[in-house]
Structure 1
Amino acid sequence: MHPSQRAPSQPIRRLLSTLACAAASLLITPAAVADTWPSKPIKVVVNFPAGGVADQIARAVSQPLQTALGQPVVIENRGGAGGNIGGDVVAKSAADGYTLLLSSGGMVSVNPHLYPKMPFDPVKDLTPVAAAARVLVFLEVRPTLPVNNIQEFLAHLKANPGKLTFGTPGNGSSPHLAAEMLKSQANVFAVHVPYRGAAPAMQDLLGGQVDFMFDPGIGLQHVKAGKLKLLAVGSTKRSAMFPDVPTLDEVGLKGFDADTLFGFYAPAGTPPEVVTRLNREINKILATQAVQDRIAALGGVPAPMSPAEFNNRAAADSARLGALIKARNIQSD
């Protein structure tokens, strides 16, 4: 037998087999991966503590999402650093569609302007999947403050510069930015009292230790019970829950918009087919009455969008809020 006709040796056969497998793997396209997705549980990292608005939105959407996808959807809370800790976890996860992030828009639009050094780049390292809800902030005052409407409140602020205090969940939070917008546009001054979360700030508002607060929704039950006065909404549109309460835009603070857009993100590089499927399923879920009711109870509005629309909104918010942060010299805690 000629040497060229001899069967390959065992090491050569193993090498040829390995090369064949590698070549075959190169033929597996993202579409093929998406065809088999999901084949195991999906984890949704919420970058704020359990019980908050982000956590409640994540759970409202995740429960029907696991039915739609046929796989368990597990919530994991990784709060801290204004959402940066949980965001970093997802940004550095495998881009296979099995790890998602539910975050407020602040992590993408606000944090890069607040933190001199972030552990990841939210624009480059994450990809928008689906917006979930637009969460409003409500301007509330202690019941003993001698005002009964927003006009009287603004006049009272102007007449008492530096004498009123406002509570927030912390520096750079959406309620803090809303109050800074108010101070800037109305040309008034009040003293900022930052707290470690919205709940302790709300407790001090109820107790009269601070005079007012932009509430992300947790105090609405107290408004209904008559324990707080609701004067205005920091949104471009009135709240369906309180249709008689004006927006700040209506009373002269033109363009006032302190809404926060909460939504789902995935690691950059996640197959587009997976992102498209998730976006479609989440938008369907947001159209159900049960989920709309749960979001409304938080003072929010469902916000179905395409990934591109979600991304464009985040970019616009970043430019607008970044300018405010710079002008008011707002820094992280």
Structure 2
Amino acid sequence: MPALLRNLGLAALAAATFASAAVQAEDYPARAVRIIAPFAAGTGPDANAREIAAELTKVLGQTVFVDNRPGASGIIGTEAAARAAADGYTLYIGTTSTLSVLPHLYSRLPFDVAKDFAPVSLLGLLNTGLIATPRLPAGDVQGLLALMKSKPESINVATQGPGSYSHLSGVWFGMATGSQPSFVPYNSNSPYADLLAGQVQIMFDGLPAAAGNIRAGKLKLLAITGKQRHPAFPDVPTFAEAGLADFEPIAWQGLLAPSGTPKAIVDKLSAAMRKAAQSQELAAKWRSYGGELKGNTPAEFAAFIEADRAKWGAVARQANVKLD
């Protein structure tokens, strides 16, 4: 009898907990929601985050605001989010760099990206382009590879520093093509001025920072990631069309909550993001600079992160870069 009573008590407790979570989700959000962004205010990723926050504010009926916590390659903001209360009122914008790349560059981190976060939804994808100075005497990937083989000293690849997205994308390109790119790191300055001037020849990057100059003819776009050509750049072939189907670096942003956030709240947030992603105005804005606004389920987003992290792990091992 005592065991039966104990089991009945546990069942009653579980039912009460479930009912409490359901009520909590029904009333959620009852106040403003903060999204920790591990990058500086005024940057491209920050602008994307604020666009998303504005759409979520409309859907949820409560203010959703961005709290910028930049520094240490995204570690400061990511740690702050991992340690936040798991009540749905502090969320986190994760990126390719913070969730797929960082774990491979540091032996020890003050958080576990696989355990400390509950994926909510993908926010959007930013296709990576092979961006070149207009002075480059090659108009496509194969022409570039021929130059890299015949005149390797004439091709320098700009990066935003060792272990950066642009650097590891270049390493991945080398792996996919059997080439050995010569990297020029710009640790604290933007490489775009030198790329425009022809001081460096190519760069791998998400397209928002370069889209305007590409359209103005001040930079060339030789190829772009994605399964099909992007509507904003219909004349630019994909890397798959250039024979590099396995070269697929994608910059992305996604919404996560601290681990332990009630599932009902996570599901409600995911549904809100999927609705926000239907904004025609915002979707058109993302497309204009080579992106794609997205929304998906927590399970789909979790699988996406796991697969992306595995791909970048292979690249990081090839690059042999450690930042600690």
Normalising by structure 2, what TM-score?
0.90
Cα shift readout 1:61-96 (whole Å, capped 9, x = no counterpart): 111211221211111111122222111111000000
1:80-91 alignment runs, 5 A limit? 80-91=71-82
Once the two structures are TM-superposed, the CA of residue 250 in structure 1 deviates from its matched residue by 1.4
Q: Confirm or deny that 1:45 pairs with 2:45.
A: no
Between 254-263 and 126-135, the greater mean CA deviation after superposition: 254-263
1:162 positional shift: 4.4
Aligned amino acid, residue 206 of structure 1: L
Contact 1:234 1:257 in 2 (8 A): yes
Aligned to 1:270: 261
1:103 pairs with one of 87, 94, 97: 94
- Within 2, Cα distance between the matches of 1:188 and 1:163? 14
The answer on 1:212 being equivalent to 2:202 is yes
Aligned: 1:221 with 2:212: yes
Q: Which residue of 2 aligns with 1:10?
A: none
CA contact (8 A) 2:206 2:251 kept: no
CA-to-partner distance for each residue in 1:187-216, whole Å, 9 max, x for gaps?
22222122246x711122112221111131
Q: Which runs of 5+ in 2 are unaligned?
A: 1-12
Q: Which amino acid in structure 2 is aligned with residue 279 of structure 1?
A: S
Question: Is the Cα contact below 8 Å between 2:87 and 2:261 reproduced in 1?
Answer: yes
Q: 1:184 is aligned with what amino acid?
A: M
Match of 1:321 in 2: 312
2:216 matches 1:203? no
| Code of the aligned partner of 2:21 | P
3-state SS, counterpart of residue 256 of structure 2: strand
Q: Deviations over 1:271-319 (max 9, x none)?
A: 1111111111111111111110222233211222111111101111111
1:298 and 1:171, CA in 2 relative to 1: closer, same or farther beyond 3 A? farther
Where 2:115 maps in the other structure, the secondary structure is: helix
Tell me the distance in 2 between the aligned counterparts of 1:325 and 1:235: 21
Residue type of the partner of 2:292?
Answer: V
Greater shift, 83-92 or 290-299, is seen at 290-299
**Cα deviation, residue 243, structure 1:** 1.4
Measure, in 2, the Cα distance between the counterparts of 1:76 and 1:165. 37
* Deviation, structure 1 residue 145: 1.7
Report the more deviating stretch, 183-192 or 277-286: 183-192
Contact in 2 for aligned 1:131/1:262 (Cα 8 Å): yes
Q: Is the 1:178–1:234 Cα contact (8 Å) retained in structure 2?
A: no
Cα deviation per residue 1:225-255 (whole Å; 9 max; x = unaligned)? 1111111113333221111211122112232
Counterpart secondary structure, 1:318: helix
Alpha-carbon shift at residue 109 of structure 1 (Å): 1.4
| d(CA) in 1 for partners of 2:178, 2:153 | 12
Does the 8 A contact of 1:130 with 1:279 survive in 2?
Answer: yes
How big is the shift at 1:173?
2.6
Q: Which residue of 2 aligns with 1:6?
A: none
- What is aligned with 1:135? 126
Query: Does the Cα contact within 8 Å between 1:236 and 1:255 map onto a contact in 2?
Result: no
**3-state SS, counterpart of residue 134 of structure 1:** strand
Match of 2:10 in 1: none
Structure 1 residues 162, 80: closer, same or farther in 2, change over 3 A? Answer: farther
Paired residue for 1:16?
Answer: none
**Structure exhibiting the larger radius of gyration computed from Cα positions:** 1
| CA contact 1:91–1:125 (8 Å) conserved in 2 | yes
User: For 1:64, which of 55, 64, 85 is the aligned residue?
Assistant: 55
> After superposition, where does 1:1-333 map in structure 2 within 5 Å?
29-196=20-187, 200-217=190-207, 218-332=209-323
Cα distance change on mapping 1:46 and 1:76 into 2, 3 Å? same
2:164 and 2:289 map into 1 onto residues whose CA distance is 17
- In structure 2, what is the Cα distance between the partners aligned to 1:166 and 1:245? 20
Residue aligning to 1:20: none
Percent same amino acid among aligned pairs?
36
Quick one: which amino acid aligns to residue 195 of structure 1? Y
C-alpha change, 1:297 and 1:170, in structure 2 (3 Å) is farther
Amino acid at match of 1:238: R
Q: 1:251-273 deviations in whole A, cap 9, x for unaligned?
A: 12232101122110110001111
Structure 2 letter corresponding to 1:203: A
Q: Secondary structure in 2 aligned to 1:129? A: strand
Unaligned runs of 5+ in 1: 1-22
